[in-house]
Amino acid sequence: MDKVALYSKQLHIRKAGVVSDINLYTTLNETGNSALAIKDGETTVYAKLGATTDALTSPLRVRKNGETRAVLTQAKPTYTEVAYTTPGTYTFTVPIGVTRIRVALCGGGGSILAPGGASSFGSLITAEGGKGNNLLATPNGYPGYLYSERGPNYGTDQSKSGAPFGFAVSFTNTKGSYGKGLISSSFNPAFGRFGGYGGSGAYDSNYFAVNLGDVYTIKVGTDPTGSLVSDTRGFVLVAYGGDV
């Protein structure tokens, strides 16, 4: 939402000695059609209307279309999810009406030689990259894969002959295709077949209180090769508005 749509003045309501501050907006884009229109001189501004049970309700009530509605202290944007799945650095600015966000993220998968990159949302939450591992040589040509070192909430090992699972882009800890460990093997006549795999990236999710205009740096972790298309990359998922 456009920050300039927030009016420079507020409506103040006093009841039982308690003052409620009500945000006003210069367009209906923030409030929708369920709004109370108020004239401030020659300027028409709008206050958001909602159910009398809404968490953002003020003491002010109005009758509209035969129904009693509460004037809300601020408009609440519709539920929105934003997914960052390409490794890199981004910024997120808290929009009007948002006081709480939900964040889920996973780090990039590790390889047999190096760890994956961490994913983070500012300083609020971080998911480390998958741990790296060393090669394991085996005689007689039999595959010899290593279990990798993993921290809390890291992906589950699939088997000794497969890399750890990754995660879905979701607010629940669900198996999917992001943050998988990299697997590699090779055959050398002198040593037989050798290989290994890195750990999957970590996964985490939580809610956070935020303020209008706060700016957060988002980092999406990659695998040690810097791949932009591999399913070993991490992700950051942000939700706000609605009932978040």
Q: Taking 70 as the threshold, does the pLDDT of residue 224 lie above it?
A: no
Task: Tell me what pLDDT residue 56 has.
Answer: 85
Do 166 and 222 reside in the same domain of the chain?
A: yes
Task: Tell me what pLDDT residue 99 has.
Answer: 86
Do 89 and 199 reside in the same domain of the chain?
A: yes
Task: Tell me what pLDDT residue 121 has.
Answer: 98
Q: Give the structural domain span for 188.
A: 80-240
**Stretch 211-229: mean pLDDT, rounded?**
80
Pairing of β 183-188 and β 192-197: antiparallel
Do 210 and 95 reside in the same domain of the chain?
A: yes
Q: Taking 80 as the threshold, does the pLDDT of residue 207 lie above it?
A: yes
Do 30 and 130 reside in the same domain of the chain?
A: no
Give the CA count within 13 Å in the CB-facing half-sphere of 86: 3
Do 162 and 216 reside in the same domain of the chain?
A: yes
**Stretch 41-64: mean pLDDT, rounded?**
92
Q: Which among 21, 38, 72 is the end of a domain?
A: 72
Question: Given CA atoms 93, 96, 99, 100 in this order, what sign does their dihedral have?
Answer: negative
Do 134 and 103 reside in the same domain of the chain?
A: yes
**Stretch 41-46: mean pLDDT, rounded?**
95
Q: Taking 50 as the threshold, does the pLDDT of residue 142 lie above it?
A: no
Q: Which among 34, 56, 72 is the end of a domain?
A: 72
Please give the share of the chain, as a percent, with pLDDT higher than 90: 45
Q: Taking 60 as the threshold, does the pLDDT of residue 153 lie above it?
A: no
Do 42 and 86 reside in the same domain of the chain?
A: no
The domain tally of the chain equals 2
Q: Taking 80 as the threshold, does the pLDDT of residue 158 lie above it?
A: no
Query: DSSP states of the chain as a string?
Result: --GGGEEEEEEEEEETTEEEEEEEESSTTTT-SSEEEEEETTEEEEEEEE-TT-TTEEEEEEEETTEEEEEESS--PPPEEEEE-SSEEEEEEPPTT--EEEEEEEPPPP-SSSPPPPEEETTTEEEPPPPP---EE-GGG---PPPPP--TTBPPP-BTTBPPPEE-SSSS--EESBSPPPEEEEEETTTEEEEEEPPPPBEEEEEEE--TT-EEEEEE---TT--SSSTT--EEEEEESTT-
Q: Which residue has the higher pLDDT, 150 or 188?
A: 188
Task: Tell me what pLDDT residue 230 has.
Answer: 55
Cα separation, 219 vs 104, whole angstroms: 12
pTM > 0.85 = no
- pLDDT-based confidence at residue 159 (cuts at 50, 70, 90): very low
Do 31 and 89 reside in the same domain of the chain?
A: no
Q: Which among 14, 47, 72 is the end of a domain?
A: 72
Q: Taking 80 as the threshold, does the pLDDT of residue 134 lie above it?
A: no
Task: Tell me what pLDDT residue 154 has.
Answer: 40
Task: Tell me what pLDDT residue 95 has.
Answer: 86
**Cα–Cα nearest to 39, from 64, 11, 6, 18:** 11
Please give the share of the chain, as a percent, with pLDDT higher than 70: 75
Do 133 and 42 reside in the same domain of the chain?
A: no
**Stretch 33-45: mean pLDDT, rounded?**
94
Do 31 and 117 reside in the same domain of the chain?
A: no
Do 198 and 155 reside in the same domain of the chain?
A: yes
Give strand pairing partners of 141: none
Task: Tell me what pLDDT residue 110 has.
Answer: 78
